[in-house]
Amino acid sequence: MKKIIFIFIFLVSSQILSSQNLNDLYFGTDTTFDIISWNIEWFPKNNNTANEVQEILARLEADVYALQEIEDTTLLKQIISNIPGYECYFKSSYYGGLAYVYNTNTIQINSKYEIFTSQPYWSAFPRSPQVLDCNFMGDNYIIINNHFKCCGDGILNANDTNDEENRRLQAVTYLKQYIDNTLLGKRVILLGDLNDEIIDNTANNVFQDFINDNTNYLFTDMLIAQGNSIDWSYPTWPSHLDHILISNELFADFQNFNSLVSVIRIDDYMGNWSNYENNISDHRPIGLKLDFGTVSYIPEKTVLDNRVFNVLDILGRDIQKKKSGLVFNLYDDGTVEKRIVVE
């Protein structure tokens, strides 16, 4: 039987980008829904931060930015006003607040609000989740921006209400209940600095409820978390803490040919990590690109000759190399190859 393979190589972790600068930075396209989550560490870090963040946001051209740790909201408003077609929104007035920046040419805002704002939820949510109800190309999306409690010892103690891991677990529990009960059938994107690993062992994994419910939810960045640490979102203490979760209403879109999720290594475009960390943030942004069905055909013989050492499905599970559908080939040089196979 004839086999057709569509191929898209979307990540080469071994690339050296030192010759590039911010002029070469890009992410968004006119044909995809592009969402970026970014903790900009107590924006601004210094007098250079604002101009550089303005240039980065303008270059990335996302439809929606979900930001965390915005300390100077007045300055954020100022730099966003310098980017044609973009506006910003924030609700919280206390330190380190959450914010949205969005493209008014592509995004129609229906409502913006916070959830879990009352005192009983303060332990789980030091910063109340911020919701953006919006339309893109006529379809409705619910985006939930978060910044979970930081730190901890990596051990989940369900008997200690002050345990950092337990507080993040409670946040996950509340959010899953909220989505299950109030957003049924909606296209939901939950994202942010969630301050924990999605690949922790089951006993200490605060996200296990979402991971177990894999018919309804998917961490789009699971392969990043399972991959090389050079592509993680928090290099200072090598870990991957910033995540993008989608509901099953978006599974089909995420499987489309040009859909991808990527940690955006802006430090590669600024010379080195120290320059980026000293002037911008200790977190890299993570971006989700949703394609709506366009594919291109590339003959199978154009596949790289590198050795495949693992083959995964969209949930990160090991599968047989001959499996039909969407598969990810992990090569020994760090390349991840996305394939749609029809047999």
**CA pair distance 324, 52, nearest whole angstrom:** 44
Residue 33 lies in a domain: yes
Residue 136 lies in a domain: yes
Sheet with 217-219: list strands edge to edge: 107-114, 130-136, 139-147, 188-193, 242-247, 217-219
pLDDT at 91: 80
Residue 194 lies in a domain: yes
Non-local (6+) Cβ contacts of 284 within 8 A are 38, 232, 233, 234, 235, 242, 263, 264, 265, 266, 267
The candidate with the shortest Cα–Cα distance to 73, out of 45, 39, 43, is 43
Residue 37: pLDDT band (50, 70, 90) is very high
Residue 152, domain extent: 28-303
Residue 285 lies in a domain: yes
| For residue 11, pLDDT beyond 90 | no
Amino acid, res. 52 = E
pLDDT at 17: 43
| For residue 77, pLDDT beyond 60 | yes
80: left (phi over 0), alpha (psi -120 to 50) or beta: alpha
Q: Which two tokens stand for residue 52?
A: 């550089």
pTM for this entry? 0.84
Question: 96-136 pLDDT, tens per residue?
Answer: 599 999 999 999 999 999 999 999 999 999 999 999 999 99
What single DSSP character describes residue 221?
A: T
Residue 318 lies in a domain: no
Question: What is the pLDDT averaged over residues 279-304?
Answer: 71
| For residue 296, pLDDT beyond 60 | no
Q: Tell me what percent of the residues of the chain surpass a pLDDT of 70.
A: 78
Total structural domains within the chain: 1
Residue 324 lies in a domain: no
Tell me, what CATH number does 230's domain have?
A: 3.60.10.10
The candidate with the shortest Cα–Cα distance to 35, out of 85, 87, 92, 107, is 107
Residue 343 lies in a domain: no
Neighbours of 200 (CB within 10 A): 18
Question: 200-246 pLDDT, tens per residue?
Answer: 999 999 999 999 999 999 999 999 999 999 999 999 999 999 999 99
